[in-house]
Copies of this chain bind each other. A is one copy, B any other.
């Protein structure tokens, strides 16, 4: 392994840009050496901003470049699995944005190649690196709340994405709840057995016409007996609402949202504060940096990555089970969606 990790980024879109800046400006341990995107202009602009020497249209050039140690796959979801396979075969370590894919067979094929070629693999569940959620996980690990009993995740967007996005998103469970499925497993440190979903179209009837929901409530039952809920809504007009809460035998821990300031304004009509941070990029800024830092460190020092391929796969299994529960109006065991032997954490 070289002293610095030489990284290529695949995809110069919104999240690719975030990771490129992290590599260029925050991580002395990594060098961003190439950016690939069919939109060469976008890739070039980003490369100029980050001082990246190489821009390519064809991702194959990344895989063929022997100077590149690792790739960050930030392209559209439909390309993830194929790029993972190619990267693994080229011996590149892989950081892959979520979800790995919408299809379990495609995910399994990709993860088999990762395993076969022995490259490192990390999925982009950045929220695990958020200071609030890490603090909650820490409370569970350090036994500050004892044995967990009940868990609640509230995860609401400020407003729905464009209908064009909704239509290609794979649905609310694969697009939005997938972060919360991973969060649930991360916080509790155990696997989910059953999923039950209640849902509705409340925010925009167009979302319903597209076959999707915009408001959902999911009940999770874990193997260790914990019961949990995930509350999702495509629109919370007061902003991005991201909170969790766990009750345990020795106490409880709960997080509030993050605010742009701590000022309280008192007037003759109310005591008020400004709205919480409204955009996921602002809310989760530090976590996007930390996940790449963790990945770079894991590759450089041959340590386990933070979010495994299996973590990425199980979140998809949960999303598929949640949809099945919603469609069939009943509790669904994860085993109905995926072979039990493949559900090992």
Contacts and interface: CB of A to CB of B under 8 A. Distances in A.
Contacts of A273: 270-272
B225 A200 contact: yes
Nearest to A266: B238
A135 interface: yes
A215 B200 contact: no
A267 B247 contact: no
A231 B229 CA distance: 10
Given A229-B217, A252-B236, A331-B330, A135 B272 contact: no
Given A131-B260, A150-B217, A144 B227 contact: no
B227 A229 contact: no
A255 B265 contact: no
B251 A237 contact: yes
A258 interface: yes
Interface in A252-274: 252-258, 260-274
Given A144-B267, A251-B266, A150 B233 contact: yes
Nearest to A331: B329
Nearest to A202: B149
Contact of A196 (B149, B198, B202, B264): B198
B255 A136 contact: no
Given A217-B227, A267-B144, A255 B262 contact: yes
A79 interface: no
Interface in A196-242: 196, 198-200, 202-203, 215, 217, 219, 221, 225, 227, 229, 231, 233, 235-239, 241
Interface in A126-144: 131-132, 134-136, 139, 144
Interface in A146-162: 147, 149-150, 152, 156
B270 A272 contact: yes
| Main secondary structure on A side of the interface with B | mixed
B252 A238 contact: yes
A25 interface: yes
Contacts of A132: 261-263
Interface residues of A, number: 69
Contacts of A266: 236, 238-239, 251-254, 275
A238 B274 CA distance: 17
Interface string A267-305: 111111111100000000000000000000000000000
Given A152-B152, A217-B150, A219-B219, A237 B330 contact: no
Contact of A271 (B150, B231, B274): B274
A26 interface: yes
25 contacts: A25-B25, A28-B49, A135-B263, A136-B263, A147-B202, A196-B196, A196-B198, A198-B221, A202-B225, A202-B249, A217-B219, A217-B229, A229-B231, A233-B247, A236-B252, A237-B249, A237-B251, A241-B252, A250-B267, A251-B267, A253-B263, A253-B265, A269-B275, A270-B275, A272-B273
